[in-house]
Amino acid sequence: MNVKERYESAKEIYAAIGVDTDKAVETLENIAISMHCWQGDDVTGFDQKGPLTGGIQTTGNYPGKARTPEELMADIDKVFSLVPGKHKLNLHASYAIFEDGEFADRDKIEPKHFKKWVDFAKEKGIGLDFNPTFFSHSKVVDGLTLSSPIDEVRNFWIEHGKACIRISQYFAEELGIPCAMNIWIPDGYKDIPADRLGPRARFKDSLDQILSIPYDKTKVLVCLESKVFGIGLESYTVGSSEFTVNYAANNGIISLMDNGHYHPTEMVSDKISSMLLFNDKIALHVTRPVRWDSDHVVLFDDETREIAKEIVRNDAIDRVLLALDFFDASINRISAWTVGMRNMQKALLYALVSPNKRFKELQDTNQFTELMAMQEEMKTYPFGDVWDYFCEKNNVPVKGDWFREVMKYEEEVLSKRA
């Protein structure tokens, strides 16, 4: 049987348990995932040549890393050709593109420094999201930015945050798609601090100043992301979960949860329903933490599926700003991106073809034996045939054919990068 014939067979099997696969496929086609640009160059960016800081670490040296904006855009374009549907591109401020002889420090960046990204997005018909870059810069003094006790340092980063809001609004207005702008800072201390309140009070004041500038809240969706620890900040992180959730709730912005930014036994999938009860929107960075915030490539694993289930069965597709965040320099970067994006979509499709209403009824009537049995049976339903059809319908490679495209691109393009 061909892909369409296998799909028709799967469609009948799912229909017998009350699942409309046509509707599932149509729904998935309209879910945009924000793909992070920084997988392509190991979080290097274009505005400085120093090392990564802020507790961020990229390991590996696989050949073919993007070195220029043109190379990075070409790589991103290749990935989008292998991933079904239309998505968004997530940029960091460190990916500003300057003309020859031109430079603006991060507190002075302007929309013009991202015009080439906007032109790229227009050509591809996608939206852009944005992130101020509060790391890998000489103004990160003693590991602190927006919480620094040094006024000059803190003011520099406040101006950076304001500049990024203006750039985010430029993206939204040029592309006609709202821009999620996420704030994350690496501030913290390696050992037990003498003052936990002071840095957080300064961080709060810095955020207040950043958000004081006028901007269109329907176009710029400001998010605030927490973290539990990082390399060199094991004992105290200024932007803890308690801080960010409370600040967001009290200031009309969006809480962002990265599933690598919690203790290893905490599951973001378990947090989503609580957050949805008290927030119009939430934001997610989906990653794969291995014993810590290691940012491994997203797999089609238990937690990724559980995150997708929570989004789908709580009717929250339009309420969750969904993005990926990982970087692995030990493998082909095009493959890493493609695997992560396709796996996130697989997880969403798996949730969409689950009989969620029936599962809820079984739970509410205490029929946990049948619930377990049905949930386990779903794992061997012909989900793959629905996925293959979704790929074919969207004119992207089916099954492992995409990997041959990646290997061809490596041979013809990546291997020629010195």
- Paired with 127 in beta bridges are 88
Q: Is residue 28 a contact partner of residue 111, using CB atoms and an 8 Å limit? A: no
* Residues tagged active-site: 184, 225, 227, 258, 261, 285, 293, 295, 325
Return all residues near 300 (Cβ < 8 A) that are at least 6 apart.
343, 346, 347, 350
Q: Is residue 383 a contact partner of residue 349, using CB atoms and an 8 Å limit? A: yes
C-alpha of 252 from chain center: 21
Q: By three-state DSSP, how is residue 149 classified?
A: coil
Q: How does DSSP assign 244-292, residue by residue?
A: HHHHHHHHT-EEEEETTSS-TT--HHHHHHHHHHH-S-EEEEE-B-SSS
Q: Is residue 137 a contact partner of residue 108, using CB atoms and an 8 Å limit? A: no
Of 20, 22, 31, whose CA–CA distance to 316 is shortest? 31
| Residue 304 exposure: Cα atoms within 13 Å on the Cβ side | 25
Q: Is residue 113 a contact partner of residue 54, using CB atoms and an 8 Å limit? A: no
| Residue 417 exposure: Cα atoms within 13 Å on the Cβ side | 18
Is 293 labelled as part of a ligand binding site? Answer: yes
Q: Is residue 283 a contact partner of residue 255, using CB atoms and an 8 Å limit? A: yes
Q: Give CA separation, 137 vs 359, 365, 384, in Å.
A: 50, 57, 45
Q: By three-state DSSP, how is residue 185 classified?
A: coil
- Categorise residue 324: left if φ over 0, alpha if ψ from -120 to 50, beta otherwise: beta
Q: Which residues are annotated as a binding site?
A: 261, 293, 295
Annotation: binding site for Mn(2+): 261, 293, 295
